[in-house]
Amino acid sequence: MSTSFFQKFNSLLLQLASFQDAASFLEQNPGRLLARAALAVTASAMATGAVVLAFTGKQFLVIVVSAVILAPFVGAAMGGLMTIYLRSLGQVPTATAPSPKHTVLLLECDPSLRGIIHEGLTDAGFHMICAPNAKRAASLCRDHGGLIDFLLADTNALGGRPLDCLQTIKATQPDLPVLLISAYDRQTLCECHAELLAAYEFLPLPLEFPHLAETIHTLLQLHTTAPGEPQPEGA
């Protein structure tokens, strides 16, 4: 029983990656917290009582009963203090309803890179739809009826006329925000498709997922607050 308890406790700790996660868990699971704290206090009191009984001969039953009566109150107090402390460390706001996931259409012709980006952005909280070529991307935009929020496209998948290709993909969603990625740096890409970089945001490969996710969120916010306006140049 003791081994099972500690295995569950260790599993719980692995799920809490930060102070924010721990405080949120304590706020959202007060019943589980109280039960575990009460169990811990009771076990500690019983162990202490056993030591006292061994050395002083006092009544062990009185100590155990007192511990059982006090444990729920002590557990609740411990939970409240732990939540306040963790919130102050991590500056955790009061728990609110999670925001809906944004749907990102990823146009990437390289299967391995497509899988890496899909996994990275899924972990960042996006709902991902993938297309291996421009034709499939255009079909997805058309069939999903405006449910796609963002287009992340590798310039290698756009062919020799990338602007025309993007217009075709966005035919049913002309105001769809776009972020381009490429194995080429900005200068090299600008020499071939200067008009492309003038119209859309760009990030070079390899990608840093925190920066990529932040850039997507920024462009989505700009699109929401100022629909129809041209996107600013530079990431």
Mean pLDDT of the chain: 75
| Whole-structure pTM value | 0.55
Confidence tier at 19 by pLDDT (50, 70, 90) = very low
Element (H, E) at 167: helix 162-169
Residue 190 confidence (pLDDT): 86
CB-count burial class (<10 Å; 0-12, 13-18, 19+) for 12: middle
Residue 16 confidence (pLDDT): 46
Of residues 163 and 49, which shows the higher confidence score? 163
Rg from Cα positions in the chain: 28
| Domain boundary assignment for the chain | 2-90, 103-225
Residue 153 confidence (pLDDT): 97
The answer to whether residue 95 scores a pLDDT higher than 90 is no
Nearest-10 crossing angle of helices 30-56, 60-90: 140
Of residues 34 and 133, which shows the higher confidence score? 133
CATH 3.40.228.10 given to domain 103-225: no
Other beta carbons within 10 angstroms of residue 202's beta carbon come to 21
- Return d(Cα 36, Cα 19) in angstroms, integer: 19
Whether residue 32 contacts residue 15, with contact meaning beta carbons closer than 8 Å, is answered with: no
